[in-house]
Amino acid sequence: MKVLITGGAGFIGSHLAEYHLAKGDTVTAVDDLSTGSKDVFKGFKPDRFTFVEGDILTWKDLDREVKRADRIYHMAAVVGIVRVLREPVEVTRVNVLGTERLLESVVRSHHLPELVIASSSSVYGHTKQELLGEESEFIFRPEQGGLTGYAISKLTNEIQAMAYRHIHGLPITIPRLFNAVGPRQSGNYGFVLPRFIKQALSGIPLTVYGDGTQTRSFCDVRDTVRALALLAENPKAWGQPVNVGNAREITILDLARLVIERSGSSSPIEFITYARGYGSEFRQTTQRRPSIERLQELTDFRHSWSLEQTIDDLIRRNSDRIVPQGRLL
Ligand SMILES: NC(=O)c1ccc[n+]([C@@H]2O[C@H](COP(=O)([O-])OP(=O)(O)OC[C@H]3O[C@@H](n4cnc5c(N)ncnc54)[C@H](O)[C@@H]3O)[C@@H](O)[C@H]2O)c1
Protein backbone atom coordinates (compact mmCIF):
# COMPACT_ATOMS: atom_id res chain seq x y z
CA MET A 1 0.00 0.00 0.00
CA LYS A 2 1.19 3.58 -0.74
CA VAL A 3 0.58 5.94 2.16
CA LEU A 4 0.75 9.75 2.14
CA ILE A 5 1.00 11.53 5.50
CA THR A 6 0.62 15.30 5.81
CA GLY A 7 2.25 16.60 8.99
CA GLY A 8 4.41 13.49 8.71
CA ALA A 9 7.33 14.99 10.65
CA GLY A 10 5.05 15.62 13.62
CA PHE A 11 4.32 13.46 16.61
CA ILE A 12 1.40 11.32 15.42
CA GLY A 13 2.43 11.56 11.75
CA SER A 14 5.85 10.04 12.43
CA HIS A 15 4.27 7.14 14.34
CA LEU A 16 1.88 6.54 11.45
CA ALA A 17 4.90 6.41 9.14
CA GLU A 18 6.66 3.93 11.42
CA TYR A 19 3.53 1.77 11.70
CA HIS A 20 3.08 1.51 7.93
CA LEU A 21 6.78 0.98 7.19
CA ALA A 22 6.74 -1.92 9.67
CA LYS A 23 3.86 -3.43 7.69
CA GLY A 24 5.87 -3.25 4.45
CA ASP A 25 4.04 -0.24 3.00
CA THR A 26 5.59 2.68 1.10
CA VAL A 27 5.29 6.03 2.85
CA THR A 28 5.61 9.65 1.72
CA ALA A 29 5.56 12.26 4.48
CA VAL A 30 5.11 15.96 3.77
CA ASP A 31 5.64 18.62 6.42
CA ASP A 32 6.61 22.29 6.53
CA LEU A 33 8.67 21.64 9.68
CA SER A 34 6.91 24.49 11.52
CA THR A 35 6.74 22.31 14.65
CA GLY A 36 7.83 18.97 13.23
CA SER A 37 11.43 17.91 12.78
CA LYS A 38 13.39 15.61 10.48
CA ASP A 39 14.97 14.13 13.64
CA VAL A 40 11.84 12.00 14.08
CA PHE A 41 12.93 9.91 11.07
CA LYS A 42 16.18 8.74 12.67
CA GLY A 43 16.47 5.04 11.97
CA PHE A 44 13.89 5.04 9.14
CA LYS A 45 15.26 3.12 6.13
CA PRO A 46 15.06 5.23 2.94
CA ASP A 47 14.05 2.37 0.58
CA ARG A 48 10.29 2.74 1.17
CA PHE A 49 10.22 6.14 2.86
CA THR A 50 10.33 9.65 1.34
CA PHE A 51 10.20 12.95 3.17
CA VAL A 52 9.25 16.15 1.36
CA GLU A 53 9.48 19.57 2.95
CA GLY A 54 6.36 21.42 1.88
CA ASP A 55 3.47 23.55 3.06
CA ILE A 56 0.07 21.90 2.65
CA LEU A 57 -1.26 25.26 1.41
CA THR A 58 1.24 25.57 -1.45
CA TRP A 59 2.94 22.18 -2.02
CA LYS A 60 3.13 21.88 -5.81
CA ASP A 61 3.27 18.08 -5.96
CA LEU A 62 0.12 17.57 -3.91
CA ASP A 63 -2.04 16.41 -6.87
CA ARG A 64 0.61 13.98 -8.10
CA GLU A 65 1.11 12.42 -4.66
CA VAL A 66 -2.63 12.24 -3.97
CA LYS A 67 -3.08 10.31 -7.25
CA ARG A 68 -0.46 7.78 -6.19
CA ALA A 69 -1.76 7.22 -2.65
CA ASP A 70 -3.95 4.34 -1.48
CA ARG A 71 -4.38 5.98 1.91
CA ILE A 72 -3.87 9.57 3.11
CA TYR A 73 -3.57 10.65 6.73
CA HIS A 74 -4.10 14.40 7.06
CA MET A 75 -2.30 15.38 10.27
CA ALA A 76 -0.82 18.75 9.24
CA ALA A 77 -2.25 21.43 11.49
CA VAL A 78 -1.35 24.23 13.86
CA VAL A 79 -1.47 22.37 17.16
CA GLY A 80 -0.60 22.83 20.84
CA ILE A 81 -1.81 25.51 23.20
CA VAL A 82 1.35 27.63 22.95
CA ARG A 83 1.25 27.88 19.15
CA VAL A 84 -2.54 28.20 19.02
CA LEU A 85 -2.52 31.21 21.38
CA ARG A 86 0.45 32.81 19.63
CA GLU A 87 -0.69 32.28 16.00
CA PRO A 88 -4.51 32.42 15.88
CA VAL A 89 -4.63 33.47 12.21
CA GLU A 90 -2.46 30.52 11.16
CA VAL A 91 -4.84 28.17 13.00
CA THR A 92 -7.69 28.95 10.62
CA ARG A 93 -5.48 29.33 7.55
CA VAL A 94 -3.64 26.02 7.88
CA ASN A 95 -6.29 23.90 9.58
CA VAL A 96 -9.28 24.91 7.47
CA LEU A 97 -7.77 25.98 4.11
CA GLY A 98 -5.15 23.20 4.19
CA THR A 99 -7.87 20.57 4.66
CA GLU A 100 -9.97 22.12 1.89
CA ARG A 101 -6.99 22.09 -0.51
CA LEU A 102 -6.37 18.42 0.21
CA LEU A 103 -10.02 17.43 -0.24
CA GLU A 104 -10.25 19.35 -3.53
CA SER A 105 -7.12 17.58 -4.74
CA VAL A 106 -8.62 14.17 -3.95
CA VAL A 107 -11.78 15.04 -5.92
CA ARG A 108 -9.63 16.24 -8.87
CA SER A 109 -7.65 12.99 -8.79
CA HIS A 110 -10.73 10.94 -9.83
CA HIS A 111 -9.54 8.19 -7.59
CA LEU A 112 -10.60 7.23 -4.10
CA PRO A 113 -7.78 6.84 -1.58
CA GLU A 114 -8.85 6.11 2.00
CA LEU A 115 -8.66 9.42 3.82
CA VAL A 116 -8.18 10.10 7.51
CA ILE A 117 -8.87 13.69 8.59
CA ALA A 118 -7.68 14.34 12.15
CA SER A 119 -10.23 15.95 14.42
CA SER A 120 -9.84 16.55 18.12
CA SER A 121 -11.52 16.17 21.51
CA SER A 122 -11.35 19.98 21.63
CA VAL A 123 -14.56 20.03 19.54
CA TYR A 124 -16.47 19.27 22.77
CA GLY A 125 -15.38 22.74 23.93
CA HIS A 126 -16.33 23.78 27.46
CA THR A 127 -18.96 21.09 27.95
CA LYS A 128 -19.31 19.82 31.52
CA GLN A 129 -20.38 16.31 30.48
CA GLU A 130 -18.21 13.71 32.23
CA LEU A 131 -17.99 10.96 29.64
CA LEU A 132 -17.83 12.31 26.09
CA GLY A 133 -19.63 10.29 23.44
CA GLU A 134 -19.77 11.34 19.80
CA GLU A 135 -23.34 12.57 20.35
CA SER A 136 -22.39 14.76 23.35
CA GLU A 137 -23.18 18.45 23.18
CA PHE A 138 -20.58 21.06 22.24
CA ILE A 139 -20.33 24.26 24.28
CA PHE A 140 -18.09 27.04 23.04
CA ARG A 141 -17.39 30.16 25.04
CA PRO A 142 -15.36 32.34 22.66
CA GLU A 143 -15.11 35.10 25.28
CA GLN A 144 -12.97 32.71 27.33
CA GLY A 145 -10.38 32.68 24.56
CA GLY A 146 -7.89 29.89 24.67
CA LEU A 147 -8.44 27.00 22.35
CA THR A 148 -11.81 28.02 20.89
CA GLY A 149 -10.34 29.00 17.50
CA TYR A 150 -8.52 25.66 17.27
CA ALA A 151 -11.64 23.74 18.39
CA ILE A 152 -13.79 25.44 15.74
CA SER A 153 -11.15 24.76 13.09
CA LYS A 154 -11.25 21.06 13.97
CA LEU A 155 -15.06 21.03 13.98
CA THR A 156 -14.93 22.69 10.56
CA ASN A 157 -12.61 19.87 9.40
CA GLU A 158 -15.30 17.37 10.45
CA ILE A 159 -17.95 19.30 8.53
CA GLN A 160 -15.69 19.57 5.46
CA ALA A 161 -15.00 15.83 5.61
CA MET A 162 -18.70 14.95 5.93
CA ALA A 163 -19.61 17.31 3.08
CA TYR A 164 -17.03 15.74 0.73
CA ARG A 165 -18.20 12.27 1.75
CA HIS A 166 -21.81 13.23 1.05
CA ILE A 167 -21.25 15.03 -2.25
CA HIS A 168 -18.28 13.12 -3.70
CA GLY A 169 -18.50 9.78 -1.90
CA LEU A 170 -14.95 10.04 -0.54
CA PRO A 171 -13.98 7.22 1.87
CA ILE A 172 -13.23 9.49 4.83
CA THR A 173 -12.53 8.57 8.46
CA ILE A 174 -12.90 11.33 11.05
CA PRO A 175 -11.14 10.40 14.30
CA ARG A 176 -11.62 12.72 17.28
CA LEU A 177 -8.26 12.32 18.96
CA PHE A 178 -7.96 12.55 22.75
CA ASN A 179 -4.51 13.33 24.23
CA ALA A 180 -2.07 11.01 22.53
CA VAL A 181 1.21 10.58 24.41
CA GLY A 182 4.46 8.78 23.74
CA PRO A 183 7.93 9.03 22.25
CA ARG A 184 8.80 12.06 20.09
CA GLN A 185 6.07 14.31 21.53
CA SER A 186 7.54 17.74 22.10
CA GLY A 187 7.00 19.57 25.39
CA ASN A 188 7.59 22.92 23.67
CA TYR A 189 4.00 23.61 22.63
CA GLY A 190 2.08 22.98 25.85
CA PHE A 191 1.85 19.16 26.03
CA VAL A 192 2.02 18.12 29.64
CA LEU A 193 3.59 14.66 29.81
CA PRO A 194 6.85 15.35 27.92
CA ARG A 195 7.26 18.47 30.09
CA PHE A 196 6.78 16.50 33.32
CA ILE A 197 9.23 13.79 32.19
CA LYS A 198 11.87 16.37 31.34
CA GLN A 199 11.35 18.25 34.61
CA ALA A 200 11.46 15.06 36.71
CA LEU A 201 14.60 13.75 35.01
CA SER A 202 16.33 17.11 35.44
CA GLY A 203 15.42 17.42 39.12
CA ILE A 204 13.57 20.70 38.63
CA PRO A 205 9.97 21.39 39.82
CA LEU A 206 7.10 19.82 37.90
CA THR A 207 4.88 22.76 37.00
CA VAL A 208 1.15 22.09 37.44
CA TYR A 209 -1.32 24.69 36.16
CA GLY A 210 -4.21 25.66 38.46
CA ASP A 211 -4.79 23.32 41.42
CA GLY A 212 -4.13 20.19 39.37
CA THR A 213 -7.62 18.73 39.84
CA GLN A 214 -8.36 19.00 36.10
CA THR A 215 -8.35 15.53 34.57
CA ARG A 216 -7.22 14.13 31.23
CA SER A 217 -7.30 10.72 29.61
CA PHE A 218 -4.09 9.72 27.86
CA CYS A 219 -3.70 7.22 25.05
CA ASP A 220 -0.34 5.87 23.94
CA VAL A 221 0.35 7.08 20.40
CA ARG A 222 1.13 3.52 19.26
CA ASP A 223 -2.42 2.57 20.23
CA THR A 224 -3.74 5.75 18.58
CA VAL A 225 -2.16 4.97 15.20
CA ARG A 226 -3.39 1.36 15.28
CA ALA A 227 -6.93 2.61 15.92
CA LEU A 228 -6.65 5.07 13.00
CA ALA A 229 -5.54 2.31 10.64
CA LEU A 230 -8.36 -0.01 11.76
CA LEU A 231 -10.95 2.73 11.22
CA ALA A 232 -9.54 3.72 7.82
CA GLU A 233 -9.89 0.19 6.43
CA ASN A 234 -13.49 -0.24 7.62
CA PRO A 235 -16.14 1.30 5.31
CA LYS A 236 -18.67 1.23 8.18
CA ALA A 237 -16.51 3.78 10.01
CA TRP A 238 -16.41 6.29 7.16
CA GLY A 239 -18.27 9.59 7.26
CA GLN A 240 -18.84 9.86 11.01
CA PRO A 241 -16.73 11.16 13.91
CA VAL A 242 -15.22 8.43 16.10
CA ASN A 243 -13.53 9.08 19.45
CA VAL A 244 -10.01 7.66 19.63
CA GLY A 245 -8.45 7.68 23.07
CA ASN A 246 -8.43 5.94 26.41
CA ALA A 247 -11.25 6.25 28.95
CA ARG A 248 -8.92 5.95 31.94
CA GLU A 249 -8.85 9.30 33.70
CA ILE A 250 -6.17 10.92 35.87
CA THR A 251 -5.83 14.34 37.48
CA ILE A 252 -2.86 16.39 36.33
CA LEU A 253 -1.61 16.47 39.94
CA ASP A 254 -1.71 12.66 40.10
CA LEU A 255 0.05 12.50 36.75
CA ALA A 256 2.86 14.66 38.18
CA ARG A 257 3.05 12.38 41.23
CA LEU A 258 3.12 9.27 39.03
CA VAL A 259 5.99 10.63 36.92
CA ILE A 260 7.95 11.51 40.08
CA GLU A 261 7.32 8.06 41.58
CA ARG A 262 8.24 6.08 38.45
CA SER A 263 11.37 8.12 37.70
CA GLY A 264 12.55 8.12 41.33
CA SER A 265 12.96 11.89 40.99
CA SER A 266 13.33 14.23 43.94
CA SER A 267 11.65 17.09 42.06
CA PRO A 268 8.98 19.02 43.97
CA ILE A 269 5.64 20.03 42.46
CA GLU A 270 5.03 23.73 41.82
CA PHE A 271 1.59 25.21 41.14
CA ILE A 272 1.29 27.98 38.54
CA THR A 273 -1.81 30.05 37.81
CA TYR A 274 -3.28 29.78 34.33
CA ALA A 275 -3.11 33.56 34.16
CA ARG A 276 0.68 33.40 34.53
CA GLY A 277 0.99 30.70 31.89
CA TYR A 278 -1.62 31.67 29.33
CA GLY A 279 -3.09 35.11 30.22
CA SER A 280 -6.00 36.18 32.41
CA GLU A 281 -8.71 35.32 29.85
CA PHE A 282 -7.74 31.70 29.65
CA ARG A 283 -10.12 29.04 31.05
CA GLN A 284 -8.96 25.47 31.11
CA THR A 285 -11.38 22.62 30.40
CA THR A 286 -11.65 20.59 33.56
CA GLN A 287 -12.15 17.16 32.05
CA ARG A 288 -11.77 15.27 28.72
CA ARG A 289 -12.75 11.63 28.96
CA PRO A 290 -13.81 9.71 25.84
CA SER A 291 -16.38 7.02 25.51
CA ILE A 292 -14.75 4.65 23.01
CA GLU A 293 -17.84 2.49 22.53
CA ARG A 294 -18.20 3.50 18.88
CA LEU A 295 -14.54 2.71 18.16
CA GLN A 296 -14.91 -0.72 19.76
CA GLU A 297 -18.17 -1.45 17.94
CA LEU A 298 -16.52 -0.65 14.61
CA THR A 299 -13.16 -2.38 15.20
CA ASP A 300 -11.62 -5.01 17.46
CA PHE A 301 -9.37 -2.30 18.96
CA ARG A 302 -7.98 -2.89 22.47
CA HIS A 303 -5.26 -0.80 24.14
CA SER A 304 -1.86 -2.44 24.43
CA TRP A 305 -0.19 0.31 26.47
CA SER A 306 -1.07 1.37 30.04
CA LEU A 307 -0.19 4.89 31.18
CA GLU A 308 2.47 3.45 33.51
CA GLN A 309 4.09 1.55 30.62
CA THR A 310 4.14 4.71 28.48
CA ILE A 311 5.70 6.74 31.31
CA ASP A 312 8.34 4.05 31.96
CA ASP A 313 9.15 3.93 28.25
CA LEU A 314 9.53 7.73 28.10
CA ILE A 315 11.76 7.74 31.17
CA ARG A 316 13.94 5.00 29.66
CA ARG A 317 14.25 6.78 26.30
CA ASN A 318 14.97 10.21 27.81
CA SER A 319 17.10 9.48 30.84
CA ASP A 320 20.39 9.69 28.92
CA ARG A 321 19.33 12.77 26.91
CA ILE A 322 18.77 15.16 29.78
CA VAL A 323 21.25 17.27 31.68
CA PRO A 324 20.45 19.20 34.87
CA GLN A 325 18.31 22.36 34.52
CA GLY A 326 15.98 20.68 31.99
CA ARG A 327 18.05 21.15 28.86
CA LEU A 328 17.58 18.32 26.33
CA LEU A 329 20.83 17.17 24.77
N1 LIG B 1 -1.52 14.88 19.89
C2 LIG B 1 -2.78 14.82 20.29
O3 LIG B 1 -3.09 14.37 21.39
C4 LIG B 1 -3.89 15.31 19.39
C5 LIG B 1 -5.16 15.47 19.95
C6 LIG B 1 -6.19 15.92 19.15
C7 LIG B 1 -5.97 16.14 17.79
N8 LIG B 1 -4.74 15.98 17.27
C9 LIG B 1 -4.57 16.24 15.82
O10 LIG B 1 -3.68 15.29 15.27
C11 LIG B 1 -2.88 15.90 14.25
C12 LIG B 1 -1.42 15.66 14.54
O13 LIG B 1 -1.10 16.26 15.80
P14 LIG B 1 0.30 16.06 16.52
O15 LIG B 1 0.05 15.94 17.95
O16 LIG B 1 1.08 15.03 15.80
O17 LIG B 1 0.93 17.51 16.29
P18 LIG B 1 2.32 17.93 15.67
O19 LIG B 1 2.43 19.41 15.83
O20 LIG B 1 3.41 17.09 16.22
O21 LIG B 1 2.12 17.55 14.13
C22 LIG B 1 1.55 18.43 13.19
C23 LIG B 1 2.57 18.56 12.06
O24 LIG B 1 2.00 19.38 11.04
C25 LIG B 1 3.06 20.16 10.51
N26 LIG B 1 2.44 21.33 9.86
C27 LIG B 1 1.88 22.42 10.45
N28 LIG B 1 1.47 23.28 9.51
C29 LIG B 1 1.76 22.72 8.31
C30 LIG B 1 1.58 23.12 6.97
N31 LIG B 1 1.03 24.31 6.65
N32 LIG B 1 1.98 22.29 5.98
C33 LIG B 1 2.58 21.10 6.26
N34 LIG B 1 2.78 20.67 7.53
C35 LIG B 1 2.38 21.47 8.52
C36 LIG B 1 3.94 20.54 11.70
O37 LIG B 1 5.24 20.90 11.34
C38 LIG B 1 3.89 19.22 12.49
O39 LIG B 1 4.97 18.40 12.14
C40 LIG B 1 -3.28 17.36 14.21
O41 LIG B 1 -4.21 17.55 13.16
C42 LIG B 1 -3.96 17.60 15.55
O43 LIG B 1 -4.95 18.60 15.47
C44 LIG B 1 -3.68 15.58 18.04
pLDDT tens string 134-143: 999 898 877 6
**Ligand 1 pocket, residue 31 CB under 6 Å:** yes
DSSP for residue 189? T
Residue nearest to atom 41 of ligand 1 (CA): 75
Tell me: the pLDDT tens digits for 274-316?
Answer: 766 666 555 667 778 999 999 999 999 999 999 999 999 999 9
Of 56, 325, 46, 307, the residue nearest 181 (C-alpha) = 307
Cβ-count burial of 126 within 10 angstroms (0-12 exposed, 13-18 middle, 19+ buried)?
Answer: middle
Residue 76 beta carbon below 6 angstroms from any ligand 1 atom: yes
> Which position among 19, 124, 150, 278 bears the catalytic label?
150
282 falls within a domain: no
Q: Which has the closest alpha carbon to 83: 36, 17, 16?
A: 36
Q: Can you give the pLDDT at residue 306?
A: 98
For residue 151, the domain's CATH number is 3.40.50.720
**Residue 150 annotated as catalytic:** yes
Is residue 162 a part of any domain in this protein? yes
Q: Please state, in angstroms and rounded to a whole number, the distance separating the CA atoms of residues 214 and 316.
A: 27
Asked whether residue 189 is domain-assigned, the answer is: no
Type of residue numbered 282:
F
Q: What is the per-residue pLDDT for 139?
A: 87
Look at residue 153 in the predicted model and tell me its pLDDT.
96
Question: Does residue 108 have a pLDDT over 60?
Answer: yes
Instruction: Kindly report, residue by residue over 251-269, the tens digit of the pLDDT.
Output: 999 999 999 999 999 999 9
Q: Which atom of ligand 1 lies closest to the CA of 181?
A: 3
pLDDT computed for residue 186 by the predictor? 82
Is residue 30 in some structural domain? yes
Taking residues 163-182, report their average pLDDT. Answer: 97
pLDDT of residue 329: 42
Residue 166: phi and psi, rounded to 5, are -65, -50
Give the model confidence (pLDDT) of 227-255 as tens digits: 999 999 999 999 999 999 999 999 999 99
Please give the Cα distance from 189 to 187 (Å, whole number). 6
Dist CA 187 CA 37 (whole Å): 13
Tell me which of 44 and 281 has the higher pLDDT: 44
**Number of domains forming the structure of the chain:** 1
- 318 found inside a domain: no
For ligand 1, atom 26, which residue shows the shortest CA distance?
A: 76
Q: Which residue out of 11, 116, 158 has the highest number of ligand 1 atoms within 8 Å of its CB and is therefore the one to mutate? A: 11
Does the pTM exceed 0.75?
yes
pLDDT in tens, 79-93: 988 898 899 999 999
Owning domain of residue 298: 2-180+221-245+290-303
